[in-house]
Amino acid sequence: GAGVSQTPSNKVTEKGKYVELRCDPISGHTALYWYRQSLGQGPEFLIYFQGTGAADDSGLPNDRFFAVRPEGSVSTLKIQRTERGDSAVYLCASSLHTGTRTGNTGELFFGEGSRLTVL
Amino acid sequence: AQSVTQPDIHITVSEGASLELRCNYSYGATPYLFWYVQSPGQGLQLLLKYFSGDTLVQGIKGFEAEFKRSQSSFNLRKPSVHWSDAAEYFCAVGAPGGYNKLIFGAGTRLAVHP
């Protein structure tokens, strides 16, 4: 597709359940990011992939959160034993360059997000 | 640690009026600076960015921003606001030479009166 695609757009689940959120980045973008946006806040960094590997997962809040990108394209964010505090919009973004000084365009292309509600 | 402060949570302006959205950052050196806009039902879109050089940068949709090192500010401006500019605006800071691990402010929601 032309842009970053995220599915589902909305997910309602019960506390304790397992959730998967999918991101399909722009074709050819090697870098992929997950951010979380809570109500009234700006996006917060969760994890960054360069290719298939997670280059920086320092933003993942705890070990209930995990993300994969097995073929270097589509990524899945996985949340185990969901809690009410996990309710937020999960944003995926991709970029063409890795962010080196010469290659950093500085532009992230964001999807519309997956709104997760944990009851 | 890097941080971004957007002091105004909500701003309301009349269509045709000028606009200035404030952004202050905390960083040990000159960071990369960005403004993104988030419209309902749409993903975040880059308005403009500052890396180095001319401190007044032009962006899309008639927006501009000025980097002021002495004030650690990167305020967004537009001379004449259109109703379609109603959205949420986010200032963000990134580390030079690093990947796009951006730190975002909490955002300013702009309402435009006809």
Segment B39-59 shows an average pLDDT of: 90
Segment B47-58 shows an average pLDDT of: 91
Burial grade of B18 (CB within 10 A; 0-12, 13-18, 19 or more) = exposed
Please tell me whether residue A61 adopts helix, strand or coil conformation: coil
Q: How far is CA A105 from CA A24, B51, B98, in A?
A: 20, 9, 11
Spatial strand order in the sheet of A75-79: A5-7, A19-24, A75-79, A65-68
pLDDT at A2: 80
Q: Does B100 touch chain A (CB under 8 A)?
A: yes
Q: Does the beta-carbon distance from A91 to B103 stay under 8 Å?
A: no
Quote the CA–CA distance of B64 and B84 in Å, as a whole number: 17
Q: Does A30 touch chain B (CB under 8 A)?
A: no
Q: Does the beta-carbon distance from A104 to B102 stay under 8 Å?
A: no
Segment B51-80 shows an average pLDDT of: 94
Tens-binned pLDDT, residue by residue, of chain A (119 aa): 589 999 999 999 999 999 999 999 999 888 999 999 999 899 999 999 988 999 889 999 999 999 999 999 999 999 999 999 999 999 999 988 655 444 455 678 999 999 999 99
pLDDT at B99: 64
pLDDT at B45: 93
Q: If you measure CA to CA, which chain A residue comes closest to B9?
A: A40
Q: Does the beta-carbon distance from A106 to B34 stay under 8 Å?
A: yes
pLDDT at B52: 84
Q: Does the beta-carbon distance from B102 to A45 stay under 8 Å?
A: yes
Do B38 and B44 contact (CB within 8 A), yes or no?
yes
Query: What's the gap in Å between the CA of B102 and the closest CA on chain A?
Result: 7
pLDDT at B28: 76
Nearest to B32 among A48, A93, A106 (CB): A106
